[in-house]
Chains A and B, each alone.
Chain A
Amino acid sequence: MDSALIPEGVKRCPTWQFILWIGAMGAVMMWGVFAMILVYIKGLNQTNMNNAYGFALWIWADLAVIALGGGAFFTGFLRYIIGKDELKHIINYAVLIGFICYSSALLILGFDVGQPLRAWFIFWHANVHSMLTEVAFCLTCYFFVLCIEYIPLALENRQIDKVPFFHNLSHNMHAIMAVFAATGAFLSFFHQGSLGGVPGVLFARPFGFREGVLVWPWTFFLFTWSAAAAGPCFTILITKITEKAVLKKLVKDNVIELLAKISGWMLAGYIVAKIIDTVYWALFTAPSKGFTLMDFYTNNPGSVYGIWILIAEIGVCGVLPALILITDKGRKNQIALFLAVLLAVIGVCLNRWVMVLQVLAVPVLPFENWALYLPSWQEIATTILPVAYGIIMISLSYRYLPVFPQERELNPIKSPVSAAQTQPPEPETPSTGAEPEPSPAGS
């Protein structure tokens, strides 16, 4: 039915299978939309946020998806500015993932702001002393950059590309993409950093507070660094999951290995800096505010924040994946590679959780207790909503756009002529059209 829209030379699942898949994801999305409507109509009383937790699940999800979407800016930086030409085979997917992540972040912010009709206030009446103003500026601008980077891919749809104006527009946008990519890298550096700067400047909350250089706490640089390290890992992870879902190889190993190697060294550098930062904070910064390291981890009856979370974040999800990714053997072993990128992704999400929620959980006054928080179903549903939206976006883009330039080469379809030449003649069978694939997941 939609075969005219599907890129040439590739196979996709039958339309009914695709519609069924989109319908299933759409149902999940509708659950999130229902919760979103409740939040918009009834307000933030639909959440379990309270005076202790002004930031909660949504802000964690925001910070996590922004970090994971960092694969777009860093891969773009490597491809267009540094000149790693091999990455042109994965840049489309990195941009698509970044686009989904940043649009999701803006969507979630829309719930959290509570009055989306006044979202423009942050631009018009900007508080230039707030790091979050800079985050809002850069986040919005970078989302526009991602739209600009995604448009040429959308224009390469088989039917749209037939229109000469769109063909030329796509070509021209590709030609100056380096300018947009450089702007994106500039914007990302600052908003990733400023998100880290927010806990870093909270001098009344010693768990998050860090010293730094000029107005920037060390967390500013650590957040940017971790996003640049874990973002490409997320791109690799989603690529691998997509390959498993469609039962096809979509990107050559040398491309994945190059991105994994760069991410590995970025992660290794980041984790060394993070360890130094943690040691300095534990030995000097926290004691200067009257706390010891273990006050933040063991003196917490009723809380889940034990020392395990620090070990998990830095050791299991930091050092271990970095060691796997910087070794040639580790990158070439598919299971080890998958495990490493998965751990790196979990690590950055855990880091954001700690820097948003554990910061608020830790008591800062002697008579306070650990503050507990469990998200409401509305918060969970609205956080799952962007996941379903992302899967739908990936499914639509994969089906109708040439997202993976190497797909055709890696999965050649035998033409009827060549098939007839290579195979013995068979009795006539009825034509079944597009060959169904076993799983419609990424189709």
Chain B
Amino acid sequence: MFPFNFEWIWDMGHIVFHGGLWYALSIMGLGLTYCIIKAAVDTAKGKGGHRD
């Protein structure tokens, strides 16, 4: 999973498999982080009352 794991080899298999995994995890992580930070900022600015 990480280059510091003992069985890691810099070959095409590891790069493609783990590249795909880290790509997906990065998008999800960054996307969620953006949403949470923006929600916190928006809330601090007083946006977003309830819809009732």
Chain A residues near B (Cβ < 8 Å): 8, 123-126, 128-129, 133-134, 137-138, 141, 144-145, 148, 161-169, 171-173, 176, 179-180, 183, 186-187, 190
Bound-state Cα–Cα, A128 to B9, Å? 10
Q: Which of B11, B27, B50, B52 contacts A179 (CB 8 A)?
A: B27
Given contacts A168-B48, A171-B39, 10 further A-B contacts (CB under 8 A): A125-B5, A126-B18, A141-B21, A141-B24, A145-B24, A148-B31, A164-B46, A165-B43, A172-B42, A180-B28
Give chain A residues whose Cβ lies under 8 Å from the Cβ of B38.
168, 172
Give chain A residues whose Cβ lies under 8 Å from the Cβ of B16.
128
Q: Which of A125, A172, A190 contacts B7 (CB 8 A)?
A: A125
Contacts A125-B7, A134-B17, A164-B49; is A186 near B24 (CB within 8 Å)?
yes
Give chain A residues whose Cβ lies under 8 Å from the Cβ of B5.
124-125
Give chain B residues whose Cβ lies under 8 Å from the Cβ of A137.
17, 20-21, 24
Binary flags per residue of B1-25, CB closer than 8 Å to A gives 1, else 0: 1000101000101101110110011
Q: Check A128–B31 contact: CB distance below 8 A.
A: no
Q: Which residue of B lies closest to A177 (CB)?
A: B31
Give the Cβ gap from A176 to chain B, nearest Cβ, in Å.
6
Q: Check A133–B17 contact: CB distance below 8 A.
A: yes
Q: Check B21–A128 contact: CB distance below 8 A.
A: no
Give me the 5 closest cross-chain CB pairs, A-B, nearest first. Answer: A128-B13, A162-B50, A169-B39, A168-B39, A168-B48
Q: Check A144–B43 contact: CB distance below 8 A.
A: no
Q: Check B52–A124 contact: CB distance below 8 A.
A: no
Give chain A residues whose Cβ lies under 8 Å from the Cβ of B13.
128-129
Give chain A residues whose Cβ lies under 8 Å from the Cβ of B49.
164, 167
Give chain A residues whose Cβ lies under 8 Å from the Cβ of B7.
125
Give the Cβ gap from A414 to chain B, nearest Cβ, in Å.
21
Q: Check A128–B14 contact: CB distance below 8 A.
A: yes
Bound-state Cα–Cα, A176 to B34, Å? 10
Give chain B residues whose Cβ lies under 8 Å from the Cβ of A168.
38-39, 42-43, 47-48
Q: Check A176–B50 contact: CB distance below 8 A.
A: no
Bound-state Cα–Cα, A168 to B5, Å? 40
Give the Cβ gap from A301 to chain B, nearest Cβ, in Å.
43
Q: Which of B5, B16, B31 has the most CB of A within 10 A?
A: B31
Bound-state Cα–Cα, A169 to B37, Å? 9
Q: Check B51–A161 contact: CB distance below 8 A.
A: yes
Q: Which of B20, B25, B35, B52 contacts A172 (CB 8 A)?
A: B35
Give the Cβ gap from A169 to chain B, nearest Cβ, in Å.
4
Give the Cβ gap from B35 to chain A, nearest Cβ, in Å.
4
Give the Cβ gap from B49 to chain A, nearest Cβ, in Å.
6
Bound-state Cα–Cα, A144 to B29, Å? 10
Bound-state Cα–Cα, A148 to B33, Å? 12
Jot down 25 A-B pairs with beta carbons below 8 A, ordered by A.
A123-B21, A125-B1, A125-B7, A126-B1, A128-B11, A128-B17, A134-B20, A138-B20, A138-B24, A148-B28, A161-B51, A162-B50, A162-B52, A164-B47, A165-B48, A167-B48, A167-B49, A167-B51, A168-B47, A171-B39, A171-B48, A172-B38, A180-B27, A183-B28, A190-B20
Bound-state Cα–Cα, A190 to B42, Å? 37
Give chain B residues whose Cβ lies under 8 Å from the Cβ of A8.
52
Bound-state Cα–Cα, A126 to B50, Å? 46
Contacts A125-B5, A144-B28; is A173 near B35 (CB within 8 Å)?
yes
Q: Check B43–A164 contact: CB distance below 8 A.
A: yes
Give the Cβ gap from A7 to chain B, nearest Cβ, in Å.
11
Bound-state Cα–Cα, A351 to B31, Å? 36
Give the Cβ gap from B25 to chain A, nearest Cβ, in Å.
7
Give the Cβ gap from A215 to chain B, nearest Cβ, in Å.
10
Give the Cβ gap from B14 to chain A, nearest Cβ, in Å.
5
Q: Which residue of A lies closest to B16 (CB)?
A: A128
Q: Which residue of B lies closest to A134 (CB)?
A: B17
Bound-state Cα–Cα, A165 to B37, Å? 10
Q: Check A141–B28 contact: CB distance below 8 A.
A: yes
